[in-house]
Chain A
């Protein structure tokens, strides 16, 4: 697998890299690394992510990119990149992150001092786990058409409706929601952003098993759920503004994405280096297969380089540049393409349905190559990566409007 290093690391940066590397070596148990490798959709088995967040927090790295005043690290963009790359090498558990990456920036921007004090430290410490209540059964890419109603009743809102595709809501103790408080005017104008506790009476979680056989998604039902108005983020009917702020952040994170893609390329390379081509050689030397692998590896290097340019250009605290959706379109499709190769690499052994073989604790012996147990579930689960957070069609529309001025 290609080795990618930042050109011209300063001696401070080199020392930083070594520090990060050592930290991972010292703190990652084999089980945690396995939890990091066995990701098919977004996150590791929850418990391992929870433990890892606590370790990160102790080291002061619970949310490196947060502003220092809230517990961030104050690293330079290059340091962040170094950290992501080291993280990719070490394969730590992927931590359920909707709270610290999606909700936290909104709280920092729009929250009251009390809200900041109540929520941010607990996110950092791995004490609160947030689900994202955005999509609804009738409102996916057309998010602003959402209907979960929040009716004012004294100092509470009363919620009725449901949210869907809420990743890991079954592990969350809190949920940030877009709710409908008015149907007057533009559909974006009647939305309010609320922060609710999952244990509020009237909230029910229904598991949705995905096509890989995994429980990642849920539908969350709200029946007369009372949320105090003190849990409103921003003004009533101004929730879309809050959400837009959040969407900007959801669309960044290029470093983490390319780290994940790199891990997938490494996985395919490892498999192909062991698997037979059927004719006495190794698959990695098969000209058809290696050409396809070269294409994704090449595209990945280009994406990494482009991401790095974005990162270098971003001054601290500024919003990501508008070209990020362009990189994102490509990296998601590339991510899916890599998973096809992983499945192609193991041929017939892509067939067994063996979720127990990819468990972190006491896995069953694999049917077929050990590295291959994740290949098919990864392929299946990642079909959602061009659906979640807006389809490529929506991305194309946005880019046509915002970048091309069409």
Chain B
């Protein structure tokens, strides 16, 4: 006997027949021209997978499961080639580039997918792709591409905030290898990871940009301990303690002491990836909010008939269109020179950081109290967008980073032109 009557909570929500004609929904229509036929096929098939296999109810069950991710879905990712996507063909990959990752992440954002694609394929995958340690690549890429292994990137520390050069974890030379000691915080994907990519200081002081190296650490190595937890956006993460963890010399990803360039490149790729994810999630919130306001009646008319609501719906759509555009801008600059890459990614992340907050908040506001409930998907999209807001640096951080690059180049050029 249930404690309460089985009336569906969202009985006043949208009726299926009044759903938007999806063809009229932008879904990134304005950026569509940059994709070739293969990329459109990829987009359609990932979106289909997400919509068919990752409904809100299915996602809820995965989030509530003990593991917090779905081996079945992961196997389907592998089957579709998504896990091999960004790796070079000679490494056993599909040779995809930044646009392919954008396409996948946007589709994952539409379903607020909690599978550890970002930490495994984008972050760990990025470190491997760019690191130049061929032995490690040969050892790890097949496991990722075939769906056998997952990894996480442990680069944040309690005092590091958004500065990846702020590293206290130390790696001391010992014999032919290293011994790692330190503490990494809020490492997304660590609970289900087979391996951890760890930033550590091999020289210099806590804030020096030189002297940072990246190591691959077996997640089950002696001395690695974790406190696993759920995150507000339905994912899993860990606090990771490294106590005298011994690794071989071959665990070093790039040149010793010079790891920051690699780290920054991968973090830019990751930031661009969550920009795409945010763009997908924002578009869903936009569509759902539009649908809801078209059906919810107050004061004798639908909410969407009120001008003040219409203006806000337009603002939502504007934010989504910009979101699509800046996510694409960031993706297209990922292989540019570091300064140009950083500028584009920071511009995108700063703008999306603000716009995604606005879209999430407005979606809840326009849904009213029902948007505040755990039962409805709206709040879960909102929470993922909230977390994306600070992942890889919040809007303030990226605004400043953008300016540090902009002032040195464009600003001067602009002022010369004006003169």
Contacts and interface: CB of A to CB of B under 8 A. Distances in A.
B15 to A, nearest CB: 14
A368 B12 CA distance: 40
Contacts of A344: 390, 394, 396
A208 B185 contact: no
A217 B298 contact: no
Contacts of A162: 7
B297 A383 contact: no
A30 interface: no
A278 B159 contact: yes
B368 A387 contact: yes
Given A209-B375, A275-B161, A354-B229, A380 B383 contact: yes
B229 A279 contact: no
Contacts of B231: 351-353
Contact of B375 (A208, A348, A351, A379): A208
A349 B160 CA distance: 11
B362 to A, nearest CB: 10
A273 interface: no
Nearest to A213: B374
B163 A278 contact: yes
Interface string B377-396: 00110110011001100101
B232 interface: yes
A351 B185 CA distance: 11
Interface string B148-171: 000000001011111100100000
Given A276-B160, A288-B396, A350-B390, A368 B185 contact: yes
Contacts of B308: 393, 396
Interface string A282-325: 01000011000000000000000000000000000000000000
B11 interface: yes
Interface residues of A, number: 55
Contacts, number: 157
B237 interface: yes
Contacts of A278: 159-163, 166
A228 interface: no
B163 to A, nearest CB: 4
A279 to B, nearest CB: 6
B365 A386 contact: yes
Given A210-B374, A347-B390, A277 B161 contact: yes
Contacts of A403: none
B161 to A, nearest CB: 3
Contacts of B3: 204-206
A276 B185 CA distance: 14
A137 interface: yes
A383 B368 contact: no
A55 B184 CA distance: 46
Nearest to A212: B232
Nearest to A41: B372
B237 to A, nearest CB: 6
A149 interface: no
A173 interface: no
A280 B205 CA distance: 11
Given A353-B232, A367-B227, A391-B365, A221 B4 contact: yes
B374 A140 contact: no
Nearest to A140: B368
Nearest to A377: B232
Interface string A190-220: 0000000000000011101111010001010
Interface centre among A138, A354, A379, A387 (most CB of B within 10 A): A387
A384 interface: yes
Interface string B230-271: 111100010100000000000000000000000000000000
12 contacts: A145-B299, A208-B9, A209-B373, A276-B159, A276-B166, A344-B390, A348-B156, A351-B232, A352-B230, A354-B229, A379-B386, A388-B369
Nearest 6 interchain pairs by C-beta: A278-B161, A206-B4, A211-B379, A278-B163, A348-B186, A276-B159
Interface of B: 3-5, 7, 9, 11-12, 156, 158-163, 166, 185-186, 188, 206-207, 227, 229-233, 237, 239, 297-299, 306, 308-309, 357, 361, 364-365, 368-369, 371-375, 379-380, 382-383, 386-387, 390-391, 394, 396, 399-400
Interface of A: 135, 137-138, 140-142, 145, 162, 164-165, 204-206, 208-211, 213, 217, 219, 221, 223, 275-280, 283, 288-289, 340, 343-344, 347-354, 367-368, 376, 379-380, 383-384, 386-388, 391, 393, 396
